């Protein structure tokens, strides 16, 4: 599918249409089609694949067996059938440079750093810009939250010293993006999703990257973004079992973690990867593949994220593959209206994070993302956590709104819409305190 801006050329009437199409494309409430099921009574009966039975039928009874054999088996199935295989090595020449340091950010509370990662070492090649904000009041290397953002690093805070992104952006009718480029108006536009000062006050660093730096979010048959860096001779696009955009964004998160490991101001063993919506799908896939992430947080990730595909509730596999054909690998199309044939389901994605702490969050009005299906993924991942002696959700039914539950698998259903809010962050900060910071 083409992104809305590609469907039409310009005229005032067409501009209006572009806005409407963009709203449809972006807003999950608008996007709930009439044929989508949001009635619990109409959820079909299904049987989930058992995380603790090997493909050859052998039962998994120990954490050793899980780590040595079963984990790899499940990871491989997700690569082959859902997100695609990401390349193993790094592109030749990959390098990073610190491009700006501001020691008195947030009235002196924080230091801001900008880091440019040149994926093939070339300035005119694909690159990402990491915005890193560090607390000044802590003495030790800081634990950190790392997450991709939707609208550019400049959108997370209004301070005009943050470099305005020059990357391709989706059109916005409020003047914050013109001709696919961010304008000054975009500064701080997403600040409600990024409570920077609170994060800093709590002693954490925040690292964020515009997701479109890694792979612009429209279907161009993978001509831009990082994929072409890895094409074999004569290859023009990823093969049917190779990575799509979610794979690429996740890969970018791991490259950001590589940088954080090299930065002495960061405690890279205490990095929580977090994402909202499509970027929540991405944080789960990043955390499943890269076990260096200490905590994994999925905010309203829905279909292809934490929600069980077999429930066919809200957004379904066919719908997501049709609307966003570039997010998953081509093989995932085999499961359009055919979810029961999937060799895995999304509870096994959660199980790949074990024994590390995982937080799954839903919003009560976000039926498109199937809050109950998101809860159940956590629930059915519990036996894997139990192998490691770790407690999961500790309840069988989704909790009341605004009542988080669970220990190593934690879950809440915030009241309200599809969004990343101060309430969500308050839970994530407490969760990180409990699991990463001793004596709390």
Q: In this complex, which beta carbon is closest to ligand GCU, that of residue 210 or of residue 368?
A: 368
What are the C-alpha distances in Å from 277 to residues 231, 335, 368, 394, 423? 29, 21, 11, 25, 16
Token reading at 419: 């969004």
Token reading at 30: 């608008």
Of the candidates 151, 176, 277, 309, which one interacts with ligand GCU according to CB under 6 A? Answer: 277
Least gap, CB of 176 to ligand GCU (angstroms)? 17
Least gap, CB of 314 to ligand GCU (angstroms)? 9
Least gap, CB of 343 to ligand GCU (angstroms)? 22
Tell me if residue 96 is catalytic.
no
Task: Check: CB of residue 119 under 8 Å from CB of residue 128.
Answer: yes
Binding residues for ligand GCU, rule CB under 6 A, total: 10
Of the candidates 127, 129, 187, 278, which one interacts with ligand GCU according to CB under 6 A? Answer: 278
Task: Check: CB of residue 155 under 8 Å from CB of residue 187.
Answer: yes
Task: Check: CB of residue 16 under 8 Å from CB of residue 182.
Answer: no
Least gap, CB of 2 to ligand GCU (angstroms)? 16
Of the candidates 17, 31, 36, 401, which one interacts with ligand GCU according to CB under 6 A? Answer: 31
Nearest one of 409, 343, 341 to 375, comparing CA atoms: 409
Q: In this complex, which beta carbon is closest to ligand GCU, that of residue 302 or of residue 398?
A: 302
Distance CA 351, CA 370 (A): 19
Q: In this complex, which beta carbon is closest to ligand GCU, that of residue 315 or of residue 382?
A: 315
| Stretch binding ligand GCU (CB under 6 A), from 261-269, 315-323, 382-390, 424-432 | 315-323
Q: Check binding of 36 to ligand GCU (CB under 6 A).
A: no
Least gap, CB of 373 to ligand GCU (angstroms)? 12
Nearest one of 109, 96, 390 to 257, comparing CA atoms: 96
Handedness of CA 274, 324, 327, 179 (dihedral sign): negative
Q: Check binding of 315 to ligand GCU (CB under 6 A).
A: yes
Q: In this complex, which beta carbon is closest to ligand GCU, that of residue 207 or of residue 303?
A: 303
Q: Is 209 left (phi over 0), alpha (psi -120 to 50) or beta?
A: beta
Least gap, CB of 171 to ligand GCU (angstroms)? 16
Cis peptide before 62 (omega within 30 of 0): no
Tell me if residue 151 is catalytic.
no
What are the C-alpha distances in Å from 288 to residues 23, 94, 126, 283? 31, 24, 25, 8
Q: Check binding of 164 to ligand GCU (CB under 6 A).
A: no
Token reading at 431: 């969760």
Catalytic residue among 167, 272, 277, 301: 277
User: For residue 423, what is the DSSP state?
Assistant: H
Of the candidates 130, 186, 303, 342, which one interacts with ligand GCU according to CB under 6 A? Answer: 303
Catalytic residue among 157, 412, 418, 435: 418
Distance CA 253, CA 231 (A): 20
Which residues in this chain contact ligand GCU in the complex, by CB under 6 A? 28, 31, 277-278, 302-303, 315, 320, 323, 368
Give the active site residues: 277, 418
């Amino acid at each position: 599918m083409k992104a809305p801006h590609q469907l039409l050329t310009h005229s005032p009437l067409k501009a209006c249409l572009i806005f409407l199409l963009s709203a449809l494309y972006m807003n999950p409430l608008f996007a709930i089609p009439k044929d989508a099921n949001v009635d619990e009574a109409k959820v079909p009966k299904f049987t989930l694949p058992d995380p603790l039975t090997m493909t050859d039928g052998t039962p998994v009874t120990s954490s050793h067996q899980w780590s040595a054999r079963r984990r790899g088996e499940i990871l491989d199935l997700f690569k082959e059938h859902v997100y695609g295989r990401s390349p193993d090595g790094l592109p030749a020449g990959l390098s990073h440079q610190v491009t700006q340091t501001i020691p008195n950010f947030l009235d002196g509370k924080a230091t801001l750093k900008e880091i440019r990662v040149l994926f093939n070492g070339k300035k005119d090649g694909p690159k990402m810009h990491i915005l890193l904000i560090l607390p000044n009041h802590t003495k030790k290397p800081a634990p950190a939250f790392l997450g991709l953002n939707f609208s550019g690093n400049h959108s997370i805070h209004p301070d005009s010293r943050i470099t305005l992104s020059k990357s391709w952006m989706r059109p916005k009718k409020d003047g914050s993006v013109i001709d696919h480029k961010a304008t000054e108006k975009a500064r701080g536009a997403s600040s409600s999703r990024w409570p920077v000062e609170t994060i800093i006050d709590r002693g954490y660093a925040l690292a964020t990257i515009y997701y479109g730096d890694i792979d612009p979010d429209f279907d161009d048959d993978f001509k831009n973004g990082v994929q072409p860096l890895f094409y074999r001779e004569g290859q023009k696009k990823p093969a049917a079992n190779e990575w799509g955009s979610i794979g690429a964004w996740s890969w970018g998160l791991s490259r950001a973690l590589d940088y954080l490991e090299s930065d002495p101001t960061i405690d890279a063993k205490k990095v929580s990867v977090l994402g909202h919506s499509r970027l929540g799908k991405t944080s789960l896939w990043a955390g499943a593949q890269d076990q260096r992430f200490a905590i994994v947080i999925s905010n309203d990730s829905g279909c292809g994220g934490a929600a069980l595909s077999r429930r066919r509730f809200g957004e379904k596999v066919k719908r997501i593959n049709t609307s966003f054909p570039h997010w998953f690998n081509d093989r995932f199309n085999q499961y359009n209206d055919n979810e029961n044939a999937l060799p895995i389901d999304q509870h096994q994605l959660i199980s790949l994070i074990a024994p590390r702490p995982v937080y799954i969050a839903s919003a009560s009005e976000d039926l498109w993302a199937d809050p109950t299906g998101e809860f159940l993924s956590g629930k059915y991942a519990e036996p894997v956590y139990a192998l490691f002696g770790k407690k999961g959700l500790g309840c069988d039914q989704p909790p009341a709104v605004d009542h988080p539950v669970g220990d190593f698998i934690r879950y809440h259903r915030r009241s309200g819409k599809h969004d990343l809010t101060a309430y969500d962050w308050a839970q994530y900060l407490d969760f990180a305190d409990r699991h990463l910071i001793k004596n709390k």
